[in-house]
Structure 1
Amino acid sequence: MEILSTQNARVKEWAQLLEKKHRDKQEKFIIEGIHLVSEALRSDWDIQYIVYDTDKGIPAELREDISTYSGGAQYVAVSQAVLEKCTDTKTPQPVFAIVYKRNALLSTLLTDEQGIVMVLDGVQDPGNVGTIIRSADASGAKGIVLGKGCADLYNPKTIRSTMGSLFHLPVLESDLTEVLPAARKQGARLISTSLQGSTSCYEYDFHSGAWIVIGNEGKGISEQTAALVEEHVLIPMQGQAESLNAAMASTVLLFEAMRQRGFN
């Protein structure tokens, strides 16, 4: 299939996915570039369309991934103008894909009582949300929970910041007032960071797992969430900076948990 006009109805539908309200309505999102499309193919996500530059053809880097992909994606060649209309980056990538959303089940995150789960409460910066997902993936976390008020998981900036980790581990978007009590009931330990915490994160025992709650960049965790958190840990700092941003604090905790739990 080939589409050259930006006025094509399908192209207009794709371009709408740059806006959250249309992503929510269509239950789909757009990913740009060879790396992200490759990660989606390798992870066997449900891809509707793979769209590429008609002059350049399907990128050679994707051909092996396409050959082993078990899904039923349709392949569409388009003009440079269509690529520009449907992508978020200043320099349009030679390929993008339309992918169906996938929301994890809470039961998936509760199957391992000793797992590490990152919980984000009102983290509004797409770069922070994406980086935390990437760090959770890199450190072997069980999954991620995004509470209300977080940056949209499917925002192009969030997706780029995950560098493909979005496709590697379960991400649940839900109401923390429902998820966290259920997790506690299953035996999960809920911890958060605090400058007033009495226990250093390097002294805290992560061996039996933890649900690590990270709050809004300026306000921290909400009162409702704070009421559910059982323990607070401190990230020690020697310099003059007052605090770390949400992504850096998350990464420190995730990799300390990985270190304690037997990384060699």
Structure 2
Amino acid sequence: MDILSPQNPRAKEWAQLLEKKHRDKQQKYIIEGIHLVQEALCSGADVECVAFDVEQGIPGELSNMTDIGGEAQWIGVSAAVIAKCTDTKTPQPVFAVVRKQKAAIGELLARKNSLVIVLDGVQDPGNVGTIIRTADAAGADGVLVGRGSADIYNPKTIRSTMGSIFHLPVVEGDLLELLPQAKESGVRIVSTSLQATSTCYGYDFTGPSWLLVGNEAKGVSPEAQRLVDDSLIIPMKGRAESLNVAMASTVMLFEAMRQREFGSIKHTYN
């Protein structure tokens, strides 16, 4: 049955998911656009429903996916309903409601030689989403998001992941409880510091390494810093004082990937 009025009770319930308190209460979140809906369906996310512009019909890219989502409902809605339930200025003609599937710390601790990026108070949703996307690209085993960071289900966070949130475990929790568990299992906690003397290019990331990055303005909290085993500096040749937290994460994750996947291979060119 199509839903055409923004005042429809179900449309109102969807629209509430734009706010964190309602995402927490309903244990659901909204994803917007063809690409994210494709990624959710292909990755086996728990999709409750897919809402598409009834005048345009199911987008061609999704037309062969109506059976993939299992119990997911496909519901035609008006452009007004789409506008009410999404937070982009020019919304795409489809969105989906997804039930949260929480990852547990055990998934990360069970990985041998795990590579994990840990977020301590990273507050910008775009940064959080970009770090999740980068962790996916670098083949990391997961992401640990500490309290005080942006909500991973914020629409801007979700968009910034470009679907990577469906590809690897993203665990939320108290770092002061979870990092000691990691250390007990043999993980080394690694962080960046402008005062460090060792560089990220001289460090051995081939063992179990969890990379801790901090708040955009304040860096890693003093409490979390006390759990750090190794501090590294990202050398910079130019005059910039520091890197954006997402960029710093990228440098470290890809150096770890280089060491793990390509070793110390040196090419000679004629």
Question: If the TM-score is normalised by the length of the shorter chain, which range does it land in?
Answer: over 0.9
TM-score with structure 2 length normalisation? 0.95
Residue deviations 1:159-193, cap 9 Å, x none?
A: 01000000000000100011000000111110000
Q: Letter of the aligned partner of 1:196 in structure 2?
A: Q
**In structure 2, C-alpha distance between the alignment counterparts of 1:44 and 1:63, rounded to whole Å:** 17
Conserved 8 A contact 2:186-2:208: no
**In structure 2, C-alpha distance between the alignment counterparts of 1:70 and 1:250, rounded to whole Å:** 33
Conserved 8 A contact 1:49-1:99: yes
Deviation of 1:63 after TM superposition, in Å, equals 2.3
Q: Letter of the aligned partner of 1:245 in structure 2?
A: N
> 1:37 matched to which residue of 2?
37
State how 1:179-258 maps to structure 2 within 5 Å: 179-258=178-257
TM-score with structure 1 length normalisation? 0.98
Q: Letter of the aligned partner of 1:90 in structure 2?
A: K
**In structure 2, C-alpha distance between the alignment counterparts of 1:18 and 1:102, rounded to whole Å:** 18
Deviation of 1:260 after TM superposition, in Å, equals 0.5
Does 1:119 find its partner at 2:118?
yes
> 1:28 matched to which residue of 2?
28
> 1:79 matched to which residue of 2?
78
> 1:159 matched to which residue of 2?
158
Deviation of 1:71 after TM superposition, in Å, equals 2.3
**In structure 2, C-alpha distance between the alignment counterparts of 1:70 and 1:218, rounded to whole Å:** 41
**In structure 2, C-alpha distance between the alignment counterparts of 1:152 and 1:246, rounded to whole Å:** 16
**In structure 2, C-alpha distance between the alignment counterparts of 1:60 and 1:14, rounded to whole Å:** 24
Q: Letter of the aligned partner of 2:3 in structure 1?
A: I
Q: Letter of the aligned partner of 2:155 in structure 1?
A: P
**In structure 2, C-alpha distance between the alignment counterparts of 1:221 and 1:22, rounded to whole Å:** 29
Instruction: Find the residue that maps to 1:213 and give its secondary structure.
Output: strand
Instruction: Find the residue that maps to 1:214 and give its secondary structure.
Output: strand
Deviation of 1:115 after TM superposition, in Å, equals 1.5
Q: Percentage identity across aligned positions?
A: 62
> 2:133 matched to which residue of 1?
134
Instruction: Find the residue that maps to 1:183 and give its secondary structure.
Output: helix
CA RMSD after TM alignment: 1.0
Deviation of 1:208 after TM superposition, in Å, equals 1.0
> 1:46 matched to which residue of 2?
46
| Unaligned stretches of 5+ residues in structure 1 | none
| Unaligned stretches of 5+ residues in structure 2 | 264-270
> 2:268 matched to which residue of 1?
none
**In structure 1, C-alpha distance between the alignment counterparts of 2:237 and 2:64, rounded to whole Å:** 48
**In structure 2, C-alpha distance between the alignment counterparts of 1:70 and 1:82, rounded to whole Å:** 22
Does 1:91 find its partner at 2:95?
no
Moved over 2 A (4+): 63-67
Conserved 8 A contact 1:45-1:71: no
**In structure 2, C-alpha distance between the alignment counterparts of 1:219 and 1:183, rounded to whole Å:** 24
> 2:2 matched to which residue of 1?
2
Conserved 8 A contact 1:113-1:188: no
**In structure 2, C-alpha distance between the alignment counterparts of 1:71 and 1:44, rounded to whole Å:** 9
- How many residues end up aligned between the 2 structures? 263
Deviation of 1:70 after TM superposition, in Å, equals 4.9
**In structure 2, C-alpha distance between the alignment counterparts of 1:70 and 1:131, rounded to whole Å:** 26
Q: Letter of the aligned partner of 1:252 in structure 2?
A: V
**In structure 1, C-alpha distance between the alignment counterparts of 2:109 and 2:63, rounded to whole Å:** 37
Deviation of 1:102 after TM superposition, in Å, equals 1.6
> 2:11 matched to which residue of 1?
11
Instruction: Find the residue that maps to 2:66 and give its secondary structure.
Output: helix
